[in-house]
């Protein structure tokens, strides 16, 4: 799910479970194996044409079994807004469809630690779930504090030689700094800036003609900027390599980074039972 309010929440299908559990069960393993490659292409399509081509290939196989074909067509091929990457990546803060990974890892960790809970009373299971979640939050909290301390030291060292990098290091979460800012900044060095009419700029990869046109004062419309809520490589190029904290969503900042943002606020206070 993306968003926190009823007006902005999007409920999307999880690719991992579709490919590994839902479709093999509903279609049968042998039939699913025949469409699995095209099913992955359908989910991971970057364009509508790619999605349609994958759907056509799947239809050729499933058409021989009308019931399965109807299930797949009506439930998934006709609803790209719930599963296709080319749609999901244009939803602000969809996190490039990576948001379910930590949630699934967290769920798996708790389940592996506690078991399924079938042999416990409900209050016991809830109590142990909260305690386990609190333990995980504590572990992340300690790691976050250590990372922040290391960043503070390193950013002070960089403050005179590279103030922009110092600010990025001191403000971004570990993931945002290492997996987004550093990657996008390195990629930005391969782009050049061209002034366009009507107060716009064109950001072009070296050796290519096509590029992103960004109006002055506007944000880039690339998938990375929209889905991740960050300063993308095109905006970094446009800003001449400078870091701008205002171009990052708050979730990417150290002070708001999960789990510090909310997991550590969980207080285990289960009422005594009779």
| Res 273: pLDDT | 44
Residue 103: its pLDDT value, please? 55
Q: How far apart are CA 78 and CA 67, in angstroms?
A: 15
Report the distance separating Cα 229 and Cα 187, nearest Å.
17
Q: What is the pLDDT of residue 51?
A: 96
Q: Are 187 and 230 in contact (CB under 8 A)?
A: no
Task: Return d(Cα 97, Cα 2) in angstroms, integer.
Answer: 10
Which pTM value belongs to this model? Answer: 0.67
pLDDT of 189 over the 70 cut? yes
pLDDT number for residue 99: 55
Given this model, what pLDDT does residue 142 score? 76
CA angle 46, 22, 45 (to 5 degrees): 5
Six token digits for residue 193? 């800036």
272 has pLDDT over 50: no
How many alpha carbons fall within 13 Å on the CB side of residue 28? 8
pLDDT digits (tens, 9 = 90+) for 194-233: 888 888 888 988 888 778 889 888 999 998 999 899 999 9
175-187 pLDDT per residue, tens: 899 999 999 999 9
pLDDT of residue 257: 57
When pLDDT is cut at 50, 70 and 90, the band that residue 264 belongs to is: very low
pLDDT category, 267, cuts 50, 70, 90? very low
What tokens appear for 245 in the block?
């904290």
CA atoms of 42 and 49, how far apart (whole Å): 10
* Residues in Cβ contact with 158 at an 8 Å cutoff, skipping those fewer than 6 apart: 165, 166, 169
- Using CA atoms, how far apart are residues 136 and 94, in angstroms rounded to an integer? 24
Q: What per-residue confidence (pLDDT) applies to 97?
A: 66
Question: What pLDDT was estimated at residue 217?
Answer: 83
Query: What confidence score (pLDDT) does residue 91 get?
Result: 83
Return the DSSP state at 97.
G
DSSP one-letter code for 270: P
């Amino acid at each position: 799910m993306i968003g926190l309010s009823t007006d902005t929440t999007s409920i999307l299908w999880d690719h991992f479970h579709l490919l590994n559990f839902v479709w093999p069960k509903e279609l049968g393993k042998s039939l699913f194996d025949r469409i699995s490659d095209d099913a992955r292409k359908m989910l991971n399509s970057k364009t509508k044409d790619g999605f349609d081509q994958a759907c056509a290939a799947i239809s050729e196989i499933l058409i021989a079994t009308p019931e399965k074909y109807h299930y797949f067509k009506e439930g998934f091929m006709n609803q790209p807004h719930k599963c296709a990457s080319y749609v999901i990546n244009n939803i602000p803060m969809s996190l490039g469809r990576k948001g379910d990974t930590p949630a699934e890892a967290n769920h798996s960790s708790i389940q592996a630690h506690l078991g399924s809970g079938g042999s416990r009373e409900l209050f016991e299971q809830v109590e142990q779930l909260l305690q386990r979640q609190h333990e995980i939050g504590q572990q992340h909290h300690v790691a976050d504090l250590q990372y922040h301390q290391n960043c503070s030291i390193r950013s002070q060292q960089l403050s005179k030689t590279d103030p922009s990098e110092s600010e990025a290091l001191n403000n971004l979460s570990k993931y945002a700094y290492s997996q987004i800012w550093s990657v996008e900044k390195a990629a930005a060095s391969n782009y050049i800036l061209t002034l366009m009419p009507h107060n716009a700029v064109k950001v072009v990869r070296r050796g290519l003609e096509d590029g992103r046109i960004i109006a002055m004062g506007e944000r880039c419309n690339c998938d990375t900027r929209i889905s991740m809520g960050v300063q993308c490589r095109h905006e970094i190029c446009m800003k001449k390599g400078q870091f701008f904290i205002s171009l990052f969503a708050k979730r990417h900042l150290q002070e708001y980074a999960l789990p510090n943002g909310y997991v550590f606020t969980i207080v285990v206070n289960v009422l005594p039972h009779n």
